[in-house]
A and B are shown apart, each in its own frame.
Chain A
Amino acid sequence: MRKILLTLLFLLFGTSANADGHCGIPSGSINILANDFPALRTFVETAKGCKGSADFKVTHSSEHNKIAVPALTANPSEFSARIAANSSIVPLMNQDLIRPLDDLVKKYGKGIQDSQLITIDGKVMAVAFMANTQHLYYREDVLKELGIAVPKTYEEVVIASEAIRASGKMQHPYAAAYKAGWNLAEEFVNMYIGHGGEFFEPGTAKPSVNNAKGIATLNMLKKLASLSNPDYLTHDSEAIKVEWESGNVALMTLWASRSGTLLDDDGDPKITAATKLTGPATVGGGNIPAATLWWDGFTLAKNRSDKDAEASFIALAHAASNKKMVADAADQAVWLVEGFKPGPKSIGVIEAVKMGAKPYPMLPQMGLMHGALGSEIVEFLQGKESAEQALKDVEAAYTSKAKEQGFL
């Protein structure tokens, strides 16, 4: 009897929770493509809560970048919505695969703040809901024991790491996602921007990374790599997270969005308790951090019926303006949604914004530059090539790809 009562109560509660999100979507089908990390899962779950009688499907994949363009090019496209970021919205814009959202925002976007709207040429192309960046994590116990202050610049990170290594506590005290390809290129972008570098000659798509700032960037990356696990060229964010949780690392540059999984109850409680967050480091005497700011937001596919677009927008806008979600999941991300109160896990992003970090460049040809960086600077890190040669290779590889794509 008690069981039945409990079930009934649960059902009642369940329906009331559903009724709470009465977004009144009568029909249509929603299919979302998104990256795979906890905050995005929470976001999509919240959107699902108001699906009404619409079909609801979602694909979470860390390979989302590879799927997105082909899947949205098809007509009708496989996905009705795509959770994108500064960099991944660019190929969608280049190929004209996403639709302007102005009408839908006017009609259904009551709770969305103006600051969340990504406008390009006056048209709303995406609605952002969280911010992200890479910043420093440190092991308070290790630093305290050795009397090292929390590093504020990458030069200090190097000195601190060398001291930790010299103490014999850890062989490879530093970690960052240096996996050859996208991750490594991202670290270069951060460090180069920290040095005040520009990727292209002003107003053109001509590359300009082969300069003193580029060389300084590469040398700093190499210095840091020599303090990392020797397998660093195969380590992505997930791999260095595992290194951290095994207690092999005391200083780390990692995405803010990963702090949640780093500080959860899994793993050694001593390490978790000693894991502290701080803002991104600066480099080379610069005053802006060697980090880029990212937003995550949703976009809607162009090659899909208006009905599906409307249904998707209502559900996603419900999540992008959901005060309950940002209160419940305050430690999963830095939400850009109204009502968000930053907690201790948001320090990294908030510090980055305060220090004047620049957003990742949203340029049509940036993807090609990122790709060229990811493969051409590897040989320099392996010690097979000079920094000048590596940067010359980057420019040459970029130039021939940009020519094929019609940018030059």
Chain B
Amino acid sequence: MPNKTFFWFFLPTGLAMILFIGLPIISTGIQSFYAQHDQIVKEVKKCDPFGCKVSIVVDQEETSKLREAKPLGKFNGFGTYVDRNHLAFDEISKFWKETNSTGEFIDQVTNLPFYKALIFTLTYCLFVTPNVLFLGFIIALSLNAISRKIRGPLIFGTILPMIVTPLVGSLVLFWMIDAKGIIGANLQFLMDDPYLSLKSSKTLTWITIIIYGIWHHSPFAFVVFYAALQTVPQEPVEAAIIDGASRFQRVRHIVLPHIYPVVTFVALISLMDNFRVFEPIIGFSAEGSAQSLSWLIYDNLVNEEVILFGSAAATSIMTIIGIAILLTPVLIRTWREFKTVR
């Protein structure tokens, strides 16, 4: 496609991207550098049905003056980024000095909210993404080998987990693993432990969410791989059969190299998706044991009666940076291939 045609073709999409993705990211970035003005409080008498009491309130007159003068708030630089609820540099250097062993140091650091969330998010990504790729590929291969007559309904059944709304899917599983639910109760029976609870144990909650993630995302990998499998040329496969290549060898040396670009694509998309893991945490009410970066943002925006825009913005920006870092190896590789092809 000539560059000029490409430009006009891309223009509407590009404009929409700037308007709906670019500008909000810039605005989020700006907000992350600001904190609220110092609260001006005054002592007043408060009366309710249970009696009167002298207590403090925010002085609205003074505060509104401040707000009018500087509507964005107080400039805080990277203050929000390095505070305890985010990168926590001060705390980490303190732990480094105070703790005696590496284990103790790691314990202290992983107790900080941001690192706790980061570790869950990375664990989730590292377990879900490869398994999704693997499972999706296996399903695609098996369905591709099955008689055409029953393939249609089987494909439909396979992509069901993707059709089911994430929240509904996780709620169904949530009720099944309840201590009184079908899976939870049977596990208690099998393990002979009436206090076993999938929901109260941190490790088991993580495993549940990861399994749910694999279940939910595999159909996407399957659909893309299945489409790619249709383009595998038959001649080399037949030649390999005549040469006596086993099924595994054919997949390893002909099919995989052929669909390799598609694998990269699926890996990229799943990594991005998994890094933003959020719905299962809400669906499983797993806030206590598993927090992700997206959940931290949500928590700052809605869980408190006071909305923490600065905190949420800082976490958002760091999530974007995190995704960029995760994708770099794959992107570099794609770029190199792109250059060699040229």
Contact = CB atoms under 8 A, between A and B. Distances in A.
Interface in A67-126: 69-70, 86-88, 90-91, 93-94, 96, 115-122
B252 to A, nearest CB: 44
Given A362-B46, A370-B305, A231 B199 contact: yes
A49 interface: no
A91 B194 contact: no
B44 A404 contact: no
A365 B36 CA distance: 13
B303 interface: yes
Interface stretch (B211-219, B283-291, B334-342): B283-291
Interface string A373-408: 011001100101100010001001101110111110
Contacts of A295: 48-50
B45 A122 contact: yes
Nearest to B311: A404
Nearest to B306: A367
B6 to A, nearest CB: 41
A405 B308 contact: yes
Interface stretch (B52-60, B120-128, B269-277): B52-60
Nearest to A396: B84
Interface in B244-303: 284-289, 291, 299, 302-303
Most chain A CB within 10 A, of B35, B302, B306, is at B306
A336 B195 CA distance: 43
Nearest to B310: A404
Contacts of A379: 111
B55 A362 contact: yes
A137 B56 CA distance: 35
A119 B197 contact: no
A105 B80 CA distance: 44
B80 to A, nearest CB: 6
B305 A69 contact: yes
Contact of B202 (A96, A118, A121, A384): A384
Interface in A327-343: 336
A118 B51 CA distance: 10
A230 B197 contact: yes
A371 B55 contact: no
B53 to A, nearest CB: 8
A93 B51 CA distance: 19
Contact of B308 (A90, A229, A384, A404): A404
Contact of A131 (B35, B49, B179, B307): B49
Interface in B173-219: 178-179, 194-197, 199-202
Contacts of B74: 406
B49 A116 contact: yes
Interface in B51-82: 51, 55-58, 60, 63-64, 74, 76, 80
A65 B285 CA distance: 18
B166 interface: no
Interface stretch (A15-23, A178-186, A267-275): A178-186
A363 B38 CA distance: 16
B83 A404 contact: yes
B63 A121 contact: no
Interface in A232-265: 232-234
B58 A93 contact: yes
Contact of A230 (B60, B85, B196): B196
Nearest to A405: B36
B35 A382 contact: no
B200 A232 contact: yes
A30 interface: no
A396 to B, nearest CB: 5
Given A375-B299, A406-B36, A87 B83 contact: no
A325 interface: no
A63 B38 CA distance: 29
B304 interface: yes
A181 B299 CA distance: 10
A163 interface: no
A90 B58 CA distance: 9
Nearest to B307: A69
Interface string A285-328: 00000000101000000000000000000000000000000000
Contact of A234 (B42, B55, B199, B291): B199
Given A120-B44, A359-B50, A405-B39, A368 B304 contact: yes
Interface of A: 65-66, 69-70, 86-88, 90-91, 93-94, 96, 115-122, 128, 131, 171, 179-182, 205, 229-234, 293, 295, 336, 353, 359, 362-365, 367-368, 370-371, 374-375, 378-379, 382, 384-385, 389, 393, 396-397, 399-401, 403-407
23 contacts: A66-B302, A86-B48, A93-B58, A94-B39, A94-B306, A118-B47, A128-B49, A180-B287, A180-B288, A230-B200, A231-B200, A233-B285, A234-B288, A295-B50, A362-B46, A363-B55, A364-B57, A367-B305, A371-B305, A375-B113, A375-B299, A404-B80, A405-B306
Interface of B: 35-39, 41-42, 44-51, 55-58, 60, 63-64, 74, 76, 80, 83-85, 91, 111, 113, 178-179, 194-197, 199-202, 284-289, 291, 299, 302-308, 310-311
| In the A-B complex, the 4 residue pairs with the closest CB atoms | A230-B197, A180-B288, A367-B305, A121-B44
